[in-house]
Structure 1
Amino acid sequence: MKPSHHKFHHPYEPYNIQADFMLNLYQCIEDGNVGIFESPTGTGKSLSLICAALTWLRDDERRRIFGDQGDESELDWLEQAEMKARRQQLLDTHMDLEEKLNTIRLRNAKDQSRKHAAKRVKIDETIEEQDLLLEDYESNSEIGNNKLGGDQSLSSTTRALLEQLKPVKSAQEDVREEDRTKVIFCSRTHSQLTQFVKELRKISISSGASQDQREKENVKHLALGSRKNLCINLKVAGLSSTTAINERCLDLQKPGTVQDQKCKYLLSKVFSEDSERLEDFKNNVIARIQDIEDIANLGRKMSICPYYAARSVISAAEVLTLPYPLLLQRSAREALGVAVKDNIVIIDEAHNLASAIADTLSVVVPLTHLELAHKQVLGYCQKFRNKLKGKNRVYIAQIVRLLKACITRLQQAKESRTTETSLLANELISTSGTDQIQPHKLVKYIQESKLVYKIEGYAVLLEQQSGQQLNVRGSEQNAPQPKGVLAEFQNLLIALTNPTSEGRFFITQNAMEVALKYTLLDPQAHFEDIVKEARAVILAGGTMSPMNEWSEQLFPYVNIDKLQTYSFGHIIDKGNVLVQPLSRGSTGDEFDFTFNNRRNKRMDNDLSLLVERICTIAPDGMVVFFPSYEYLASITATWKIATEAGSPFSRIGTLKQIFQESKEVNVDELLTEYSNAINAGKGALMLAVVGGKLSEGINFSDKLGRVVICVGLPYPNVKSAEWKAKVEYIERLKYDRSKAEGAPDSGCKAKAQAAGMDYADNITMRAVNQSIGRAIRHKNDYAAIYLIDKRYATSKIQSRLPAWLRSSMRESEKLWPQVEQECNQFFAKKTQGSLQRI
């Protein structure tokens, strides 16, 4: 199938690279491939993704409705008649829906003065003791009658409730659900998805139910979120943790709950008037393109739960948007009613997808949280000790022992002052009293009994009744206690059920706290089902290189001919970017910012001279990225040491106002102050960290980022137990594959070691590339980029820079006077050009 529109319905005149991007994306979807698309930030990537995918979607719908007459000529008259009837049914369904939506649009157009509903206000729920009692639990009968299958995060009760809450479907809706292919678009956060929705609103695309390209049809879009995003019941939405919100919601739906205690926003398929309201909600959602807040507000206006009612919209929607975690976890997808089978999955900002999968399924629980969870369980047992019987008593006793075993292990680590220790799951539960515990059964019990909600509810009840708090050792009596600690323990328990090869447990310790951490090492197993079920999977980002890493780590099971990679250039002119690696400073000494050399005060001062000289040349804003927060703090301390000529920090401060990122700083406030200083004509210098808050998703376009300096390379701590475990996993994976290919043992070991080193280089340079990309945001933007370290002069590192940056790179071994001269020339030319345009 060829594209029906040569510009893919792009709202503007697309650049050549955008046209190439869209053509290749369209073909990738048509062929059912996995596609990895690299397109620099500022090249209109989001619009290109939308236009190509929607053009294919409407072309495919047109093909389904009107068919290919050549193919049909070989069918007998009965088959042709059946096919014609089927297509007419699809067309009738389509036109009927459009008629309803047009009526809603006309109605809404008459009321442009509508205001958004008031924002959600969190309030505490009044909890009754009887709500907190556990029901009798028999594990054997539960296992026999309620099979969890492959899903360990949704109970049978939950799934039964979700089944009951499915709306009544007409025959037409069944046809639509069967035949409508969807684009499932994911990004990291709801704010990024909101930006995507703004781009989606710009598209005007031809109808899939008409052969006339001039006939347009609105895109039917649905934004999906969790209960935390969409719950409109203030007594539920105000609870302390996501788990508590989920379990309280399900608790209000239990069979046998009296009507006046059920959630008043939840509709039932039993009543025809509810079905009509649900249908009205669905049509209002897809009548125009709305973001997650719009849908929540619509639910408030119509007094309908938007979280559950959204399921009725899925069958009619063409585009679904949702954040990473709701796609990456099968349990979350099933809870929402989202199926990836035969649909198109597009993941934007996918450069850190493997890390996102690992983060979604990794867990960190501090010692203080485990201690509080232990106290909460004991407090609950003390209160209801006479009412806990049978399996409830057995399983709660196991939870107490397991919590105590984890606490003891962490306390021992705290006393030994060990910064990091790796351990296996069986080592964590090998102490006396816990070695017979079966984590799978315990997880099942916690999920089925809603124990987390019950115990956390009792802690809230104590606060409501007397203001008491269950305090842990070392904390102030009236200090606010962390919320959701039992939910954290539950996630830790689920991690205990994972295969040993998939992840590892660690005990980490710093000056603030000691914690138990589970890190997922093998992300591919948790993405494979999406790849195998979807029609096509598209990963898109500004810095997807090096491409070989994707086939090695995330898609080793995909045939090489089905894995397509594309890297596109930038829309800016090469002359708008100056990229200069610097191996030496103005004194001629080498810049070597390896970890062991970072206490070189002479090198630190040499760096300050370089920054100071660039500050005298470059206009407006400059951003300097350092490898870590610790090194940034160290170097600013060095720069503040007074000399006869004044401290480097004060000298730089007279040229540009200095701002500094930290772990505690409010990013919005910091950026506002930085921007105000630049707009006031003072100029500003931002000291930031690669991988920190300012290195991803922040826009330093135009005046905000005329210079970007990267100091050193942010390699991970190679002595870290967690990093060693990750590298060991990568090396073992490569060794096993090489062995399977028939390579000799020595060759396998060499390839494995090289794979570990490549992994470190790739992780490091992807973070650097993200930081660099903050400055160039549109076609007419310009910036100078300085890479300060002798390692930036090596081919190994330069090959991992984006191609569009390499094309603007200057010689590596230039002396400072020549570098300074070129900097002067670059900004003189750009400033003159800007004045001429004015």
Structure 2
Amino acid sequence: FKPYPQQIEVMEFVSKCFKESKNALVESPTGTGKSLIIRAIMLEYLKSSNQNQQQQQQTSKLPDWLFQAAIKAEQNQIAVESSSVQKLRDTLKNIHYFPQNSVNFINQLCVMNNIDFVQQQQINDLLTYTYQPQHKQAIFSSRTHSQLQQFQKQIQLTSTALASRKVYCMHQSKQDIEDIDYFCKNNSCIYRKQEQLLVGLVKSFQSADFVQAAQKESACPYYVSLLRQNLSDVILMTHQQLDESFNQNAVLFVDEAHQLINVVKQKHEAEVSLAELDQFQLKLEQYLQKSTFLAENTFLSLSQILMQLQKLIKLTKYLQNQFVAASKADLAKLLAEFDLVIFIKAEIELFRRERFTHRIRQKLNEQVIYKALQFLELLCHEDVQSQFLLVGSHDQQSENQKNFRLKLVHLEPKMELKYKNVACFGGTLQKDSFTKHFTQKFEFLQVGHIIQKDQLKIKVIKELQGKEFVFNSQTQQNEQIYHDLALYVQNKRKTLPKEQNMLVFMPNYASIEKLKKSIQLENFTIEQPGTPLQKYEERCKLENHVMIGVAGGSLAEGIDFKDDLCRFLIIIGIPFPNIGDFYVKEMLKMDKDYLLHQAFIKVNQCIGRAVRWVGDWASVELIDSRFTQYWDYLSYWIKQIGQSK
């Protein structure tokens, strides 16, 4: 296989950035082989270390001290003739997976194996999670666990995918465990014995699937993954896990980096209702009244949370009949008036660390407590009086005043990626709107698509039925427009060969519902919120079929519409954010082009559905006269290849 010029350009760019201790941001369209590029750069980086050579298979040359320990541990599991071994096994039955207990186990294990002090310390560090990697490491991050699994199958390096206890738990009844973290830490789980974990760890490096290997040895895959992570070449994690503490000397590769911005925003916003605050307050009060056994410091910490919770409830009740939104100076004044300039981060951390959510919940949905704590925690943010927006709203489906909700949003959230070097890849990245959400500085590269110009034809449709067509908030209320659009789409479908399919994107679900009334549903599938992608994948394989979805929805990112699955793509209207939204209004004050940036991220993603590999081809129609006016907001590769304007 000979790399494409675009792939070589990206690899040289990222490698140069790493050598100069810089971070790389690469806009590379879907279908240009970003996964292959990342694998090649990752392999070259890891090979550059004398301590970590390229692995030809999914195996690893583990340290001798670890093999010795594991071999002896395995013998301990099956040997019965040795009284000393039997004594060790009996001792291990009651040992929990805690650092203070693992020292005793290691001491006995090392004595029996005549392992020297240095090796003993290494094993001890490994089992207490203080072992430091002796080699270079790379971290790969993507949006979902399924994407991580796909990447893991493609790399010929030792790798470990990190996931939650619930994902890796071996207990058949794990769905019935209310608090699996608490269960894990406070029960003598049969899959957490240290002998089993050491054996499972070594065996896991001799298998293509470390989870299956660990399970075969009755070793918990979750704890084996924690042991593996500092012995692996590559660690895989979702975007949500990136702010957790890992090896800061590793290099980070981020795929689908545009989705990382959503993670940053989600971590800096919180929403809670008056009813949820009241429920949490009641349960916390009851718990404090009954819990006379609490340590004094713990009792004071919980009391501090309760006091601030009561203040927040008082503010919410005050606002429910008159409040719309407040930001910056107005918000600072409001918080000061209700004495909600608070500093209880340490108390909230203690609440979570000590698992009080599950101690006090008693038939209370844990999400209620989670949302209330998230809101209180954001009130502790250093920027809360200068960079936050507070919005109030009523549930339109209910007349209950307690369904009044408050939403707190950081207008300019930032995240620090605590790694040696970072390389971010995405098909719809905009340098300024991306980099403002991170503390690091990035070098930026845009590359073109690997397809040729005649493989993607783009046309702007300015008129429909002989009249200029603008699909805005006003015209979207005109029922006749939907009859015209339905006729246009149906006629286009009839021009396609029988084996070819068509994809249509609209700006919102409301417009899809109106189009649905005007279209004959035979050979059409309409996107519905919450519908599994698998159902769409099955339907889109039907011949001469039309899939209709919303720009920015599931169909715009979740399905690979390659080849005949999408030979014709239509985007109706420009998917601008709701101008009436208070958050949008605040963002427009800081960025006059905010609406266009957000809209064309979705447009570019939609167009990316049409061409998925070097041999793919498609026609695209943009139905709205304003597309001509805003042509420059299309991605670099689209403007470079798209034949018609």
For residues 177 and 154 of structure 2, what CA distance do their matches in structure 1 show?
34
SS at match of 2:466: coil
* Matched-pair contact (CA < 8 Å) for 2:24–2:443: yes
- C-alpha spacing 1:621/1:556, structure 2 compared with 1 (3 Å): same
* Matched-pair contact (CA < 8 Å) for 1:593–1:789: yes
- Residue 24 of structure 2 is matched in structure 1 by 35
Is 1:188–2:143 an aligned residue pair? yes
- Residue 423 of structure 2 is matched in structure 1 by 538
The CA deviation at 1:704 is 2.0
For residues 344 and 263 of structure 1, what CA distance do their matches in structure 2 show?
35
* Matched-pair contact (CA < 8 Å) for 1:28–1:35: yes
* Matched-pair contact (CA < 8 Å) for 2:479–2:514: no
For residues 657 and 277 of structure 1, what CA distance do their matches in structure 2 show?
55
The CA deviation at 1:14 is 2.5
- Residue 87 of structure 2 is matched in structure 1 by none
Partner AA of 2:235 in structure 1? L
* Matched-pair contact (CA < 8 Å) for 2:26–2:445: yes
The CA deviation at 1:161 is 5.9
* Matched-pair contact (CA < 8 Å) for 1:425–1:496: no
- Residue 632 of structure 1 is matched in structure 2 by 512
The CA deviation at 1:32 is 2.2
SS at match of 1:179: coil
Larger helix percent? 1
- Residue 255 of structure 2 is matched in structure 1 by 348
For residues 163 and 229 of structure 1, what CA distance do their matches in structure 2 show?
27
* Matched-pair contact (CA < 8 Å) for 2:587–2:594: no
For residues 230 and 557 of structure 2, what CA distance do their matches in structure 1 show?
35
Is 1:440–2:345 an aligned residue pair? yes
Runs of at least 5 residues in structure 2 that lack an aligned partner in the other structure: 54-59, 72-96, 107-117, 398-402
The CA deviation at 1:33 is 1.7
- Residue 636 of structure 2 is matched in structure 1 by 803
- Residue 286 of structure 1 is matched in structure 2 by 205
The CA deviation at 1:185 is 0.5
For residues 433 and 7 of structure 2, what CA distance do their matches in structure 1 show?
25
* Matched-pair contact (CA < 8 Å) for 1:419–1:509: no
Is 1:570–2:449 an aligned residue pair? yes
- C-alpha spacing 1:55/1:197, structure 2 compared with 1 (3 Å): same
The number of aligned residues is 585
For residues 336 and 352 of structure 2, what CA distance do their matches in structure 1 show?
20
- Residue 115 of structure 1 is matched in structure 2 by none
* Matched-pair contact (CA < 8 Å) for 1:197–1:289: no
- C-alpha spacing 1:519/1:435, structure 2 compared with 1 (3 Å): closer
The CA deviation at 1:186 is 0.4
- C-alpha spacing 1:565/1:393, structure 2 compared with 1 (3 Å): closer
- Residue 774 of structure 1 is matched in structure 2 by 609
- C-alpha spacing 1:441/1:566, structure 2 compared with 1 (3 Å): closer
- Residue 318 of structure 1 is matched in structure 2 by 233
C-alpha distance after superposition, 1:162-219 (max 9, x if no partner): 787799683677899453111100011101111111222xx4xxxxxxxxxxxxxxx1
- C-alpha spacing 1:770/1:97, structure 2 compared with 1 (3 Å): farther
* Matched-pair contact (CA < 8 Å) for 1:237–1:245: no
- Residue 466 of structure 2 is matched in structure 1 by 588
- C-alpha spacing 1:412/1:319, structure 2 compared with 1 (3 Å): same
For residues 573 and 245 of structure 1, what CA distance do their matches in structure 2 show?
52
Partner AA of 1:285 in structure 2? S
Partner AA of 2:162 in structure 1? L
* Matched-pair contact (CA < 8 Å) for 2:133–2:231: no
The CA deviation at 1:714 is 1.4
* Matched-pair contact (CA < 8 Å) for 2:258–2:434: no
Partner AA of 1:588 in structure 2? G
- Residue 10 of structure 2 is matched in structure 1 by 21
- C-alpha spacing 1:495/1:509, structure 2 compared with 1 (3 Å): same
SS at match of 2:554: coil
For residues 555 and 66 of structure 2, what CA distance do their matches in structure 1 show?
47
Is 1:617–2:617 an aligned residue pair? no
For residues 379 and 172 of structure 1, what CA distance do their matches in structure 2 show?
47
TM-score (norm 2): 0.80
* Matched-pair contact (CA < 8 Å) for 2:448–2:640: no
* Matched-pair contact (CA < 8 Å) for 1:220–1:289: no
For residues 98 and 711 of structure 1, what CA distance do their matches in structure 2 show?
64
The CA deviation at 1:599 is 2.0
- C-alpha spacing 1:438/1:757, structure 2 compared with 1 (3 Å): closer
* Matched-pair contact (CA < 8 Å) for 1:690–1:714: yes
* Matched-pair contact (CA < 8 Å) for 2:197–2:223: no
The CA deviation at 1:786 is 0.9
SS at match of 1:564: strand
Matches within 5 A, 1:137-536: 170=119, 177-200=132-155, 203=156, 219-233=157-171, 238-240=176-178, 244-250=179-185, 252=186, 261-267=187-193, 274=194, 277-290=196-209, 294-295=210-211, 297-327=212-242, 329=243, 332-333=244-245, 338-341=246-249, 343-380=250-287, 384=290, 396=302, 398-400=304-306, 402-407=308-313, 409-410=315-316, 424=331, 427=334, 430-431=337-338, 438-447=343-352, 449-456=354-361, 459=362, 482-499=365-382, 500=384, 501-512=386-397, 514-524=404-414, 526-527=415-416, 530=418, 533-534=419-420, 536=421
For residues 162 and 711 of structure 1, what CA distance do their matches in structure 2 show?
60
Matches within 5 A, 1:14-93: 14-61=3-50
* Matched-pair contact (CA < 8 Å) for 2:533–2:559: no
TM-score (norm 1): 0.63
SS at match of 1:632: helix
Partner AA of 1:542 in structure 2? G
SS at match of 2:2: coil
- Residue 134 of structure 1 is matched in structure 2 by none
For residues 49 and 198 of structure 1, what CA distance do their matches in structure 2 show?
14
The CA deviation at 1:46 is 0.5
* Matched-pair contact (CA < 8 Å) for 1:674–1:684: yes
- Residue 153 of structure 1 is matched in structure 2 by none
* Matched-pair contact (CA < 8 Å) for 1:591–1:603: no
The CA deviation at 1:34 is 0.9
- C-alpha spacing 1:487/1:378, structure 2 compared with 1 (3 Å): same
C-alpha distance after superposition, 1:716-737 (max 9, x if no partner): 1222112233344xx2xxxxxx
For residues 31 and 565 of structure 2, what CA distance do their matches in structure 1 show?
15
The CA deviation at 1:567 is 2.0
SS at match of 1:523: coil
Partner AA of 1:805 in structure 2? I
Is 1:791–2:626 an aligned residue pair? yes
- C-alpha spacing 1:494/1:231, structure 2 compared with 1 (3 Å): farther
Partner AA of 1:184 in structure 2? I
For residues 249 and 488 of structure 1, what CA distance do their matches in structure 2 show?
24
Partner AA of 2:144 in structure 1? T
* Matched-pair contact (CA < 8 Å) for 1:25–1:49: no
* Matched-pair contact (CA < 8 Å) for 2:274–2:313: yes
Matches within 5 A, 1:678-693: 678=542, 681=543, 683-693=544-554
* Matched-pair contact (CA < 8 Å) for 2:462–2:469: yes
SS at match of 1:786: strand
- Residue 599 of structure 1 is matched in structure 2 by 477
* Matched-pair contact (CA < 8 Å) for 2:503–2:547: yes
- Residue 113 of structure 2 is matched in structure 1 by none
Matches within 5 A, 1:633-648: 633-637=513-517, 639=518
The CA deviation at 1:454 is 0.6
SS at match of 1:265: coil
* Matched-pair contact (CA < 8 Å) for 1:582–1:793: no
* Matched-pair contact (CA < 8 Å) for 1:221–1:317: yes
The CA deviation at 1:629 is 1.2
For residues 579 and 101 of structure 2, what CA distance do their matches in structure 1 show?
52
For residues 370 and 197 of structure 1, what CA distance do their matches in structure 2 show?
43
* Matched-pair contact (CA < 8 Å) for 2:325–2:390: no
C-alpha distance after superposition, 1:398-425 (max 9, x if no partner): 5455445545655666655x67666747
- Residue 526 of structure 2 is matched in structure 1 by 660
The CA deviation at 1:41 is 1.2
* Matched-pair contact (CA < 8 Å) for 2:504–2:570: yes
* Matched-pair contact (CA < 8 Å) for 1:184–1:321: yes
C-alpha distance after superposition, 1:651-674 (max 9, x if no partner): xx4xx6121112243432243234
Q: State the Cα RMSD in Å.
A: 3.6
